[in-house]
Amino acid sequence: DAGVIQSPRHEVTEMGQEVTLRCKPISGHDYLFWYRQTMMRGLELLIYFNNNVPIDDSGMPEDRFSAKMPNASFSTLKIQPSEPRDSAVYFCASGLAGAGNTIYFGEGSWLTVV
Amino acid sequence: GQQLNQSPQSMFIQEGEDVSMNCTSSSIFNTWLWYKQDPGEGPVLLIALYKAGELTSNGRLTAQFGITRKDSFLNISASIPSDVGIYFCAGHVPSNTGKLIFGQGTTLQVKP
C-alpha cells in the first residue's frame, strides 16, 4: 500500500517567491497533519485537518503560511512570500480516527529559501 | 501548552550495549508513540501504547506507558549500527482529538 506521498522532495527557491508543498494522505485516513522540522525547534505541528476541515491551525507561524485540503486525497501548504527562515523540512502525516491515534509520515519536503 | 521532555538529548554507545530513553510530561496523555527517524527520511512508527502500565515489545525494542500516564520509556537491547537515528516520543492530547505532541528527540549513535 502507498504511504503518505509528498512533493516536491527538495526545493530551493529565492526569497519572496511562492512555495507550494503537496501531500497525498494514505487512502481512507481522515486526519491530515502538516509538521515543520528544524534543528532549533524540532518537530512542530503547523495545522491539522479532520475530514478535510482545518481543526487546529494555532501552529501556523504567520499569515504567509496557508494550508488547504480541497478533498480527502490532497492537501497543500503554501508559503507566500517565502523567507530564508522558512528553510526547513516540512512533513505531511495522516491518520485514522479509532486506529489508536497513530499517524504515518511522508518522506518530507526539504525547503531551502535563499 | 502541553510539552514533552525527552531525555537524553543524545547518546553515543558501543554496539551491543542496551539503550534507554524516556519522556515525561506535566500533562496526562491518552496514547504514547515512539518513532524513529533515519537521516533524510520521515519518522517511522516503532511502538504504540494505549493504556497506563502497558508494556509492548517490537523485536529488540520495548516500551512502556507509565502508570501515571505522564511518562513513557523506550529500551533497545543489544544495539546494532542500524539503530542509529533520532528517536521521538509523542503523546496524544486527551482534550484535543487528533493532536499529537512530539518530544525533542534523542539522537543515537552506535559505534561498531
Cell of A63: 499569515
* Residue B4 confidence (pLDDT): 87
Instruction: Tell me the pLDDT tens digit for each residue of A15-73.
Output: 999 999 999 999 999 999 999 999 888 899 999 999 999 999 999 988 999 999 999 99
Could you tell me which of B84, B105, B108 has the C-alpha nearest to residue B22?
Answer: B105
Instruction: Please identify every stretch of chain B with a pLDDT value under 70, giving residue numbers as ranges.
Output: 1-2, 95-97
Q: How far is CA A53 from CA A46, A68, A93, B100, in A?
A: 14, 9, 15, 17
Query: Vertex A62, ends A61 and A63: CA angle to 5°?
Result: 145
- Chain-chain contact of A43 with B102 (C-beta, under 8 angstroms): yes
Q: Is A108 exposed, middle or buried (0-12, 13-18, 19+ CB in 10 A)?
A: buried
Contact B31, B92 (CB under 8 A): yes
Chain B positions with Cβ closer than 8 Å to A = 30-31, 33, 35, 40-45, 48, 50, 88, 92, 96-105
A31, A50, A100 member nearest B31 (Cβ): A100
Instruction: Tell me the pLDDT tens digit for each residue of B88-107.
Output: 999 887 766 677 889 999 99
Average pLDDT of the segment spanning A79-92: 97
Instruction: Tell me the pLDDT tens digit for each residue of A2-25.
Output: 899 999 999 999 999 999 999 999
- Chain-chain contact of A101 with B105 (C-beta, under 8 angstroms): no
* Residue B29 confidence (pLDDT): 87
A42, A107, A108 member nearest B102 (Cβ): A42
Residue A4, C-beta contacts closer than 8 angstroms, at least 6 positions apart? A23, A24, A25, A26, A92, A93, A94, A104, A105, A106, B42
Cell of A113: 529559501
